[in-house]
Structure 1
Amino acid sequence: MLRVPVPPKFGEVRPRQAGDIVAAVGVGDALQARDLRRLLPLPGLHVLPPAAAAADTQAPEPCPPSTGQTGGRHGAGQHGGRHLGALGMMGSELSVSMEPRYPVMNNTKSDWLSLRPVEPAAAQCCGGGCTPCIFDLYQTELELWEKAKERGDPELLRKPKEETRNVRLSPDTFTQFLLCSAEQETEDAWRYRFQLSPGTGLGLKLGQHLVLRGLVNGAEIQRAYTPISAIDASGHFEVLIKVYERGLMSQYVKCWRPGDSVAWRGPFGGFLYKPNKFGELLMLCSGTGIAPMLPILTHVTDDEDDETFLTLVVCAKNFQTVYMKNFLREQSRYWNVRIFYVLSREESLENLPMSYRENSKLGRIDCEFLATVLETCRRRPYILICGSVSYTEDMTHMLKQLQHNHSSIFCF
């Protein structure tokens, strides 16, 4: 039979026992005791101040019992018998000391079933073609579990599922980041800024996206988002997220508040770019498809030696739903940048500020408009497309009709 610590009743205090989990949390630290219990919902989880944690192995003191709830199915919340040793807070990062303790096992079927990794649900896949996908990670863990079971050696499962805060990302494991601020961009979209350690960046390349993990009604889901901050930004990163009334991930995002911890992994994908590699970049985007275009704009205009021309075509329902208008207005002042707006449901150009009317079109984007843009490009353009599946298909079809070289098109 498995031998595990028995948690005390609510309100009862007992001395900590061997095998218990110890967490050191400083007063005022962003990651509170409730967050640790949510990340590691194990029996016997105790929270100590840093001073007590430093002397943890010498003279343990009585600690309050854990009252946390079970976490996600695929991540730190799914411990599956794999216990972490000691956790401690160091500045804004979560440090994990990996000293797993396994329960005593009799190699029975029920013992091994308790250690078997949980297969992810279909909703947990973001559908973005990530490598490795969450199902790849599950298959790797399952193969390791089968190997350990065949040999009767649970120590083969020693490698834990690590979750750290504010360090460089990994495509394989989720990283917890502290939400610093949330600013409303439009009626249905928000900009979220996440904290990094001072002087630390994510090390992203242009066009790379991250995968967000959420938990809604007990089900884990994952979605892909591209940071809109500059790829060399340090101390933070930002994402633009549209909130849908009935969206699963939107239900999770709506609950975010500054100070919350949010799990990301990545990066994935990317657009290979070198200064002056292309004479001109023509960027076609719809809705939040503008996200990967923003770091590209910043990257080119911040480099005085990069003389690439940039043409951005922003497709939206109306002027009010155009994202990042202030940023785009600043970018349009550069000598090598021009921006067009295609507004499918705007009733009149009179509704727009005077400075936008000349470069705006009412109605949907069509071949005639796209041909005009192509003809007025200052150099032969390389085309970037980002939007919904239908938008991407429409754009590629129009470009084919206009006999644009398919090898000069990149779809995010």
Structure 2
Amino acid sequence: MEPSHSSDQGDSLESECCGNGCANCILDNKPKPSRRAQLSGQPNVILDYADFRLVHKEALMGDDKVLLLHFAYAVGSDKDDCILDIPPGHHVMLRIGSLLRPYSPFWTDFVRKEFKILVKLVLDGPMSQHLADLHIDDVLQFRGPIGSYLHDAKIAKYIIIIAQGVATAPTIPLVEEVLDNEDDMSRICHIVCARDMNHVYFRDRLLEFATYWNYQSCLYLPHQQCDTIVCQEKGHCSQDCDELRKSLRYRERAKIQRFDVHQLDVHVSSINKELLPIIIIAGDSSFQQSIKKIVAAAEFPVFEENIYLL
């Protein structure tokens, strides 16, 4: 199991380490080269700290506290006969001076050596301040990949991904890895916990996934609120709110409540018992621990080694 940390969720005020309270340093989780990297015969440029240039920066969905950052390998800072190998579900470590923070890319380009991360800025967070002040062509140092999750398409699994807010982003390549392989018989249940619909990131991508036979998703929006008088008085929409139902798109499901053990049992009630259950939890450390307690209380058993924290 991957050690707990708060990748992509914000910042810590400590500067002696990455500040995420890991039980074991996540730098110790160095995966073997992917099959694709082995076949290329080229070194992975990010195995040691390497320079990456910021090529694009934008506030996602109009929120200046949530930044999409696109980095490209700074050619000339090292030899260019290399690739960028960051498997789905793995992290890269950003180093600025004595500050270290792990982030999980949601998109990578193997040949062009580029990647994208989604970052939620935290007030007074030292790394957040650096990232907020970034300008195009600024160069930062990253190393990786770091992680322990490895998907084997030869073994059919029931993969339950439970994501919180911006941490939905690094779960996108995990889903793509399964759905893009026609021979992969694994099924995915994608649970996204957000404040409301305005905080559901990559919504269009989730809807694209829903066209696949082996994918289902559900949004948990405990603070969803429309402009009707009834919902305004309650402080949130009800499950049968007409405005909520009108806002949902084809095959999109949403619950106006927090995710709990009963909901987990409902999602897994139709599992083919022959499929190996896998749990992937993406979010900050408090979210991870909360969901682990829910998983432990669920009716179906999941081995500790099959629970991964992203």
TM-score by length of 1: 0.56
Q: Does 1:204 align with 2:204?
A: no
Structure 2 matches for 1:80-159, cutoff 5 A?
Answer: 123-126=15-18, 127=20, 128=22, 129-131=25-27
> Quick one: which amino acid aligns to residue 71 of structure 2?
F
**Cα distance change of structure 1 residues 397 and 130 upon mapping to structure 2, 3 Å threshold:** closer
Partner of 1:214: 96
Q: Which has the larger radius of gyration?
A: 1
Q: Does 1:262 align with 2:140?
A: yes
Q: Does 1:331 align with 2:209?
A: yes
Partner of 1:75: none
Give aligned pairs, total: 254
Q: Does 1:313 align with 2:191?
A: yes
Answer whether contact 1:199 1:234 (CA < 8 A) is retained: no
Distance across 2 between alignment mates of 1:296 and 1:302: 10
Partner of 2:264: 370
1:234 Cα deviation from its structure 2 partner: 4.0
Note the residue ranges of structure 2 that are not aligned, 5 or more in a row: 1-12, 30-42, 226-236
Paired residue secondary structure (2:137) = coil
Paired residue secondary structure (1:195) = strand
Q: Does 1:247 align with 2:125?
A: yes
Tell me which of 32, 46, 50 is aligned to 1:169: 46
Tell me which of 381, 385, 394 is aligned to 2:281: 385
**Cα distance change of structure 1 residues 221 and 331 upon mapping to structure 2, 3 Å threshold:** same
Partner of 1:273: 151
Percent identity at matched positions? 24
Answer whether contact 2:210 2:251 (CA < 8 A) is retained: no
1:221 Cα deviation from its structure 2 partner: 1.3
1:132 Cα deviation from its structure 2 partner: 5.4
Answer whether contact 1:199 1:235 (CA < 8 A) is retained: no
Partner of 1:400: 296
Answer whether contact 1:209 1:270 (CA < 8 A) is retained: no
Distance across 1 between alignment mates of 2:211 and 2:111: 22
> Quick one: which amino acid aligns to residue 144 of structure 2?
G
Task: Give deviations 1:267-305, integer Å, cap 9, x for gaps.
Answer: 211302111423221111112332331111111122222
Distance across 2 between alignment mates of 1:205 and 1:182: 23
TM-score by length of 2: 0.73
> Quick one: which amino acid aligns to residue 134 of structure 2?
W
Deviates more, 1:321-330 or 1:337-346: 321-330
Partner of 2:307: 409
**Cα distance change of structure 1 residues 402 and 167 upon mapping to structure 2, 3 Å threshold:** closer
Paired residue secondary structure (1:123) = coil
Distance across 1 between alignment mates of 2:169 and 2:254: 20
Structure 2 matches for 1:219-234, cutoff 5 A?
Answer: 220-230=98-108, 232=110, 234=112
Distance across 1 between alignment mates of 2:213 and 2:109: 22
Task: Kindly indicate whether structure 1 or structure 2 has the higher relative contact order, using CA contacts under 8 Å at least 6 residues apart.
Answer: 2
Structure 2 matches for 1:54-73, cutoff 5 A?
Answer: none
**Cα distance change of structure 1 residues 234 and 403 upon mapping to structure 2, 3 Å threshold:** farther
Answer whether contact 1:194 1:236 (CA < 8 A) is retained: yes
Task: Give deviations 1:352-403, integer Å, cap 9, x for gaps.
Answer: 6231785101121112211111113455432111222222222221222224
**How well do the aligned residues superpose, as a CA RMSD in angstroms?**
2.7
Partner of 1:28: none
**Cα distance change of structure 1 residues 251 and 122 upon mapping to structure 2, 3 Å threshold:** closer
Distance across 2 between alignment mates of 1:326 and 1:288: 15
1:199 Cα deviation from its structure 2 partner: 9.3
Structure 2 matches for 1:353-368, cutoff 5 A?
Answer: 353-355=247-249, 359-368=253-262
Partner of 2:200: 322
Answer whether contact 1:278 1:382 (CA < 8 A) is retained: no
Paired residue secondary structure (1:250) = helix
Partner of 2:9: none
1:174 Cα deviation from its structure 2 partner: 2.0
Q: Does 1:301 align with 2:179?
A: yes
Answer whether contact 1:123 1:222 (CA < 8 A) is retained: yes
Answer whether contact 1:191 1:238 (CA < 8 A) is retained: yes
> Quick one: which amino acid aligns to residue 405 of structure 1?
P
1:345 Cα deviation from its structure 2 partner: 1.1
Partner of 1:192: 69
Partner of 1:344: 222
Distance across 2 between alignment mates of 1:287 and 1:385: 12
Paired residue secondary structure (1:251) = helix
Answer whether contact 2:156 2:184 (CA < 8 A) is retained: no
Task: Give deviations 1:24-73, integer Å, cap 9, x for gaps.
Answer: xxxxxxxxxxxxxxxxxxxxxxxxxxxxxxxxxxxxxxxxxxxxxxxxxx
